[in-house]
């Protein structure tokens, strides 16, 4: 019987400068698509996958974001504040004691995706997760299917499902920032700021980085123009949460 992740981590500390002017007065995770904040879209996905506990790291406009999160009853949310930004790896490491020893989901606070006809993306990942051969499993979006927002070819996939980073960014897949991670990957990492990409490269080097192809849409919301295109699309298709 497979053990499904019961913890999640949402990276929500960054300043989101490329999304100005929206992030001049809001943290990026509180920017709305289809009448709902980006972080609530992510939390809804976690709740649908029966994730019981989610840790969220905060820095930029932390009070505003924490007050928003306190309004949710499920999943249960733990807050990890950063006085100084610790980057995408250091921020998670600081709060590992809140996550526990089992593999857990990680998503970015600005992650936005839809689910396919069958299982949800997180449930598909849980079914694919094999701790015997994997230290990390990435959800990957085919660049060819990205129409509203710009795709970058971060990775290619080998026939056995191992993910290989495309250093020149011409791979077939963009990393969605949605992943399952073993806490042990953080062993030996710095106590201060470091990039999560270091852990991805470490897992790849040992042959334990795998990818799963997403079967629906994922949006790379980086700029105000990206946000406006995605909002217009959701409005046109009446896909309100």
210, part of any domain: yes
% of the chain beyond a pLDDT of 90:
62
Helix (H) or strand (E) holding 67: helix 62-69
- The SS3 assignment for 121 reads helix
- The SS3 assignment for 110 reads coil
Q: For residue 41, what are its two tokens?
A: 């879209």
241, part of any domain: no
pLDDT band at 240, cuts 50/70/90?
Answer: very low
Question: What is the per-residue pLDDT across 59-89, written as a single tens digit (0 to 9) for each?
Answer: 988 999 999 999 888 899 999 999 999 999 9
pTM for this structure?
A: 0.91
| Whole-number CA gyration radius for the chain | 17
1, part of any domain: no
Residue with tokens 């600081």: 94
Going by C-alpha positions, the residue among 219, 48, 55 that lies closest to residue 141 is: 219
23, part of any domain: yes
130, part of any domain: yes
Q: What is the pLDDT of residue 237?
A: 61
Question: What is the per-residue pLDDT across 173-196, written as a single tens digit (0 to 9) for each?
Answer: 999 999 999 999 999 999 899 999
Residues in the chain: 241
Query: Residue 76 and residue 7: Cα distance in Å, rounded?
Result: 10
Q: For residue 137, with 0-12 CB atoms within 10 Å meaning exposed, 13-18 middle and 19 or more buried, which class applies?
A: buried
% of the chain beyond a pLDDT of 70:
97
Under 8 Å between Cβ of 10 and 55: yes
Query: Residue 222 and residue 47: Cα distance in Å, rounded?
Result: 25
| CATH code, domain carrying 65 | 3.90.550.10
Counted domains in the chain: 1
Q: Domain containing 80: what range? A: 7-236
* Greatest pairwise CA separation for the chain in angstroms: 48
106, part of any domain: yes
| Peptide bond just before 133 cis, omega within 30 deg | no
173, part of any domain: yes
- The CA angle 156-161-162, to the nearest 5 degrees, is 65
Q: For residue 142, with 0-12 CB atoms within 10 Å meaning exposed, 13-18 middle and 19 or more buried, which class applies?
A: middle
């Amino acid at each position: 019987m497979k053990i499904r992740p019961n913890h999640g981590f949402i990276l929500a500390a960054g300043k989101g400068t490329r999304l100005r002017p929206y992030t001049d007065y809001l943290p990026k995770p509180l920017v709305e698509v289809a009448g709902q904040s980006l972080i609530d879209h992510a939390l809804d996905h976690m709740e649908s996958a029966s994730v019981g506990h989610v840790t969220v790291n905060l820095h930029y406009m932390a009070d505003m974001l924490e007050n928003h999160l306190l309004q949710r009853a499920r999943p249960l949310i733990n807050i990890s504040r950063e006085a100084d930004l610790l980057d995408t790896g250091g921020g998670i490491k600081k709060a590992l004691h809140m996550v526990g020893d089992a593999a857990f989901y990680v998503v970015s606070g600005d992650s936005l995706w839809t689910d396919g006809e069958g299982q949800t993306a997180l449930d598909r990942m849980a079914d694919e997760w094999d701790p015997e051969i994997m230290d990390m499993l990435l959800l990957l979006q085919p660049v060819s299917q990205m129409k509203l927002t710009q795709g970058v070819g971060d990775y290619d996939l080998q026939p056995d499902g191992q993910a290989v980073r495309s250093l020149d960014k011409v791979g077939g897949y963009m990393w969605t920032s949605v992943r399952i991670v073993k806490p042990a990957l953080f062993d030996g990492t710095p106590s201060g700021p470091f990039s999560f990409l270091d852990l991805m490269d470490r897992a790849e080097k040992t042959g334990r980085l795998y990818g799963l192809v997403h079967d629906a849409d994922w949006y790379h919301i980086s700029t105000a123009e990206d946000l406006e295109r995605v909002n217009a699309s959701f409005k046109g298709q009446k896909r309100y949460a």
